[in-house]
Structure 1
Amino acid sequence: MASPIISLRLAFLVILLAAAHARNTLQKESSQDPDLVTALPGQPPVKFRHYAGYIGIGDRQAKALFYWFFEAEHRPSEKPLVLWLNGGPGCSSVAYGAAQELGPFLVRSNGPNITLNPFAWNKVANLLFLEAPVGVGFSYTNRSSDLRKLGDRVTAEDSYSFLLSWFRRFPRFKSHDFYIAGESYAGHYVPQLAERIYEGNKAAKQISFINLKGFMIGNAVLNDATDQMGMVEYAWSHAIISDELHAIILKECGSFQQDGDRPAGPGCSPALRAFLQAYSDIDIYSIYTPVCLSSFDRSSRRKSRLVAAPLLFSQQDLWPGMSRVAAGYDPCTEDYVETYFNREDVQRALHANVTQLSYPYSSCSEVIEKWNDSPATVLPVLRRLLNAGLRIWVYSGDTDGRVPVTSTRYSINEMHLKAKQDERKGKKKEWGGWRAWYHKEQVAGWVVEYEEGLSLVTVRGAGHQVPVFAAARSLALFSHFLHGRTLPADRFAGA
């Protein structure tokens, strides 16, 4: 039997070895992960790690894309990795997705503290937010000419290059199941990036292979003609425009008819101006919530943001009239976010703005002035990726007037998919596969699943930024998507 002195010495030695291991681990993490965020102002205490910083890409790494990454709240080594993208084009995934919608830290006031999100998506996944392309948020380029070359193609290519480099910096996530999610104009970004990854994987060596499994997009820009038609139908069906204006738009603006190539008549332009004016005093992105009065005048003069295709109605002169008014339970959240990320102590903590940009941080870019390419439809991309076996969910908050549920339904219908039917005994007949889904015994929205692998989901009472308005339901939706589980079809099935 060992003496008490020897036992104490052994115990002390074990403690020393454990301390040394912990010290070495921390030093290793510090050297490998210089982007670890350790002192974010106002942050509540958490047990998960998060990182922020730049990844250089392109020729001589003249471009630098900013990211913010949150490990999953529990067992991150076992959870999938999800990249979140906001749209615009030109809007920040950090300012919207991370700080207002689904990240663990929400900016909810101009006060000193940020709020812990009880429905953060990092409860079920590792979350990566990317500001792309250059000129968005903290992302920048050393060549001003790059800002004049932006478009869908450049954004997809730069985001792909970012991912390859990011995985080299964080190799421990290389083998994780990888998904992409986003909203609005990310209806272009997400499938285009997914297609770039899919094509890259065909010729990729193991070191550059990305384990892409699928993607999910919300209130997504998909197909110009049907998106536009659905936008007008939504405004009319929700009593925002009159019968007369609705009839004039359908008659004079050829893009809203089946023969969409018919040129617009002389009455189209004034009718569309009246259409935009109908939304001038409400938030088109959430038609039933108040606007932020303190910033309403300033917002109404801003260039359009968080928007769909920049060629809306093919009337370039009308586009700036569709202004972005901050949305959410507190309609002034966007102002709080911009104030927070313009703080020098916040930027230092996030390893951001290291080059001292000549312009302030903004939720949507004020330096991107030209968008060079935006295909009229991404539906063929969706079709190709469905055929490749990727899981694709499209969801829609049904109080959004900008990319409304009518637009999404018209667009998905263009794909001529075959709806699944629930043949279980005792189940009521679902016309076209359309049924309610439930969360906490309440109807959370409606869903139709297609045999080809796509699911279309609505979220009842949610606006453009679904996680802002339906936080618990959006987390349930996200979790079911990741696990490939059918949304609850019974009131008492839970979520």
Structure 2
Amino acid sequence: MGCKLDPIPCIFFLLCSHVLVSNLCHCYYNAEQESNKITSLPGQPAKVDFDQYSGYITVNEEAGRALFYWLTEAPTKRGPESKPLLLWLNGGPGCSSIGYGAVQEIGPFNVNRDGKSLSLNRYTWSHLANLLFLDSPSGTGFSYSNTSSDLYTSGDKRTAEESYIFLVKWFERFPQYKYRDFYIAGESYTGHYGPQLAQIIYEKNKEMENPVINLKGLLLGNILMEDYYDYKGMFDHWWTNGLISDSTFKKLNDGCASSSPVHPSPDCQKALDQATQEKGNIDEESIFTPLCSKNSSSRSSDLHVESYINLPLLFKAYDPCTESYSTAYFNLPQVQKAFHANTTGIPYPWVACSDILYNNWTDSAPTILPIYRELIAAGLRIWIFTGNADSVVPVPSTRYALNALNLPILTDWHPWHIGKKVGGWSRVYEGLSYVIVNGAGHQVPLHSPNEALILLKSFLENNPMPSGGPLFSDS
């Protein structure tokens, strides 16, 4: 019958229009939920100990906008019914949370190099939470709109509003998650998406007697926070790491002082182009690791790599070509069928990031800092982290923005450790914690998966980053 038991076996069921309710326990059966269940994925390991669901939720009937999601629950042995729900959002704008966060970073599977099969991710965040990946806005990943002009009119405001509509409808489809501890996580342009969505949830919840979205906090990495500081810190990082000349450093600071990272002014773009030439063929999101060989993109937003090459033994632990594997995988017809995706027959291939959305973003808030002040005052748990090898949203950008919040410092700058190794550094403010992950790039869970999982554990438990101890164990 496909019931979702929570938490003990049901004995007697009352069949309603779409929910089975027991007088002796809670048992949910939702026809839409059951239709979204994934039986197995092509190339998936034979045995997995968790349930997964994917599908669409319409967020605008008139325009025909629908957002695609993938839910991967915690393993049965870890008790998914007792674990929180964590929403993961990728940035861009226009980059797929399914294609990045789910299969390159924190999900239960990684796509193998053949682009056809999956392997288990030892460091999946589903050890500690049920994971909900959302492609937002429409036009991102498998999410779509029946109104083609929507691809040219997306922006912060509509994305936040329709992500909230998605959540409201999603919780109706998955009522077992109502009132569950709920967190928002993500990276890069999620520095806009996450706080803006959290603000709407907080404001709507104040109007309700018993809100079902039990928002507890945000965990955000390498995020854009304010245009001025984002640029200032980025230029400082380029200069101090010897990536650009003194004269270009001056041109960047002069030409981009009042510009937007999403839509730079002509003078700013000219200086950025000069900086790109001086930096050379490097991965700006991980400046100490190799590129994925040919046709690497020059776009200075979320990761773009093209094809796999044989990597030196030195870099065997990190593969810069993971995006190319996921691109191949999600374009397989049998994969789309298993995911209940592309049901409308979208006439273009799946891509990890939409250049149309990115290049035509209509509204990008120049600062998110006032929203942070509101969320901190609301008592939400807020952690921000940065990989210090990222030059797109580097450490200085975040430090400048955090200093502008002028929060009292509870625990000043200090290292945190994994065993005897320095995992990074941290500072705890009143209402916000900041963590640096040493050696990681823009996608911290991809570059430093063990450190990222320890970070999540500390965040969920609301404990300081560890001063020692073993690596995270998945046993």
Q: Same fold (TM over 0.5)?
A: yes
1:485 partnered with 2:463:
yes
Q: How does 1:337-376 map to 2 (within 5 A)?
A: 337-368=326-357, 369-376=359-366
Letter in 2 for 1:348: K
CA contact (8 A) 2:450 2:471 kept: no
CA distance in 1, matches of 2:378, 2:35: 37
Q: How does 1:59-458 map to 2 (within 5 A)?
A: 59-60=61-62, 62-73=64-75, 74-204=78-208, 206=210, 209-250=212-253, 252-253=254-255, 255=257, 270-296=270-296, 299-300=297-298, 305-306=301-302, 324-325=304-305, 329-368=318-357, 369-421=359-411, 433-451=412-430, 453-458=431-436
Change (3 A) 1:161 1:441: same
Change (3 A) 1:447 1:358: same
Letter in 2 for 1:461: G
Q: CA deviation at 1:487?
A: 1.2
Q: CA deviation at 1:205?
A: 5.2
Task: Provide TM-score, normalisation by structure 1.
Answer: 0.82
**Corresponding residue of 2:49:** 47
CA contact (8 A) 2:222 2:442 kept: yes
Q: 3-state DSSP class of the match of 1:384?
A: helix
CA distance in 1, matches of 2:342, 2:201: 29
Change (3 A) 1:366 1:247: closer
CA contact (8 A) 1:283 1:326 kept: no
CA contact (8 A) 2:156 2:192 kept: yes
Q: 3-state DSSP class of the match of 2:415?
A: strand
CA distance in 2, matches of 1:434, 1:49: 41
CA distance in 1, matches of 2:442, 2:130: 23
Residue by residue, what CA displacement relative to the aligned partner does 1:15-69 show, whole Å, maximum 9, x if unpaired? xxx9x99xx9999577742111112001112111000111112235721100000
**Corresponding residue of 2:314:** none
Q: CA deviation at 1:305?
A: 4.2
Letter in 1 for 2:290: P
CA distance in 2, matches of 1:115, 1:446: 32
Higher mean C-alpha deviation, range 149-158 or range 362-371:
362-371
Change (3 A) 1:409 1:169: same
Higher mean C-alpha deviation, range 69-78 or range 456-465:
69-78
Letter in 2 for 1:255: A
Q: 3-state DSSP class of the match of 1:335?
A: helix
CA distance in 1, matches of 2:32, 2:305: 42
Q: 3-state DSSP class of the match of 1:233?
A: helix
Q: CA deviation at 1:209?
A: 3.1
CA contact (8 A) 1:283 1:325 kept: no
Q: 3-state DSSP class of the match of 1:219?
A: strand
CA contact (8 A) 2:56 2:68 kept: yes
CA distance in 2, matches of 1:64, 1:90: 14
From the two aligned structures, give the one with the greater helix fraction: 1
Q: 3-state DSSP class of the match of 1:468?
A: helix
CA distance in 2, matches of 1:94, 1:254: 33
Letter in 1 for 2:344: T
Q: 3-state DSSP class of the match of 1:402?
A: coil
CA distance in 2, matches of 1:188, 1:277: 29
Q: 3-state DSSP class of the match of 1:154?
A: helix
CA distance in 2, matches of 1:282, 1:326: 14
Q: CA RMSD in A?
A: 2.9
CA contact (8 A) 1:91 1:305 kept: no
Q: Count the aligned residue pairs.
A: 437
Residue by residue, what CA displacement relative to the aligned partner does 1:177-199 show, whole Å, maximum 9, x if unpaired? 00000100000000000001001
Q: 3-state DSSP class of the match of 2:433?
A: strand
Task: Provide TM-score, normalisation by structure 2.
Answer: 0.86
CA distance in 2, matches of 1:266, 1:471: 39
